[in-house]
Amino acid sequence: MTFDEKYKEYKEIAEKELGCASGNHADSRCSPLRDVINYSLESGGKRIRPVLTLAFCGAYGGNVRQTAVIAAAIEILHTSTLIQDDLPCMDNDDFRRGKPAVHKAFSEADVILAASRMVFKAIESVADLGLSSVISMICRYMSAVYDGQKLDLSAVSGVLDKPQKLHICELKTCALIQAACEAGVLSAGGSGGAVRNAALYAYNLGLAFQLIDDILDGEGYENAAEDAEKYTGEALKLLENVPDNEFLIELTKNLLNRKN
């Protein structure tokens, strides 16, 4: 199977679990917030986080389709942070991925409620699997995302130096990528060493990913491209410790060289 075929397979598994194919997110059919939730989850995107979860699970010999619940939960959490980020009281963005931001399509009150519901639905779905260690890990990283958003908001009127920018990136971007990779290893029964290796890989990948995003948005600092290449190199070295790593190696390289 080619890289593109494997990526498509992982993404389709995640999309199916998210309910995007049918337009119904889990039990949201019974929720008055279902339209808000579905709109946010159907906004597209690369689905990098669930793909990483499934890829690490597969690399360590786990059951990829059974892990789809966890992969989807992490994507739901990620999406909840995006719709919060776009709110007028946060980053005040009117568009996300070429579509009106969720708060432009629905009321701000509905968006806030939907984001909260998505967090609890995601945690519930993992709790139903009886994986307390995965829940604790995900909650720890989600806390970091919120801390990062607070630091980002506090810095809006100031000028950030490089260490400050990278620290916010560690919290806002790296955290859920680390959660995604660790979840894949844990779901496959990987060792503690394998989990730590995945977390460090994801940390470096997350830094490179955000730096490339900033460059594409015209917001990269001087030498950001060189730093992105450096962090990608560190991530690739860590993949040498991962079995069946061909897909992950190509994915890591592709994320460095992407144009969108």
pLDDT digits (tens, 9 = 90+) for 28-81: 567 889 899 999 998 778 999 999 999 999 999 999 999 999 999 999 999 999
Higher per-residue pLDDT: 238 or 220: 238
**Residues pairing with 96 in the sheet:** 99
Confidence check: pLDDT of 153 > 50 = yes
Q: Residue 161: pLDDT band by 50, 70, 90 thresholds?
A: confident
Sign of CA dihedral 9, 11, 14, 15: negative
Angle among Cα 184, 130, 197 to the nearest 5 degrees reads: 25
Reported as a pLDDT band with limits 50, 70 and 90, residue 25 is very low
Contacts of 108 (CB under 8 A, 6+ apart): 87, 88
83-117 pLDDT tens trace: 999 999 888 888 887 788 899 889 999 999 999 99
| 180 contacts 74 by C-beta, under 8 angstroms | yes
The CA distance from 216 to 219, in Å, is 8
With a cut of 70, say whether residue 158 has pLDDT above it: no
Q: Would you state the pLDDT for residue 22?
A: 35
First to last CA, the chain: 25
Hey, how many other C-beta atoms are within 10 angstroms of the C-beta on 260?
6
> Domain 3-257 belongs to what topology?
Farnesyl Diphosphate Synthase (1.10.600)
What is the pLDDT averaged over residues 134-144? 97
Segment 179-220, tens digit of pLDDT: 999 999 999 999 999 999 999 999 999 999 999 998 998 887
Q: Is residue 82 very low, low, confident or very high in pLDDT (cuts 50, 70, 90)? A: very high
84-108 in b/e burial notation, b at 16+ Cβ within 10 A?
A: bbbbeebeeeeebeeeebbbeebee
What pLDDT score does 23 carry?
Answer: 47
Q: Is the pLDDT of residue 24 over 70?
A: no
Domain boundaries, the chain: 3-257
Beta bridge partners of 100: 95
The predicted structure's pLDDT at residue 221: 84
Q: How far apart are CA 43 and CA 45, in angstroms?
A: 7
- Amino acid 249: pLDDT: 98
pTM of the model: 0.94
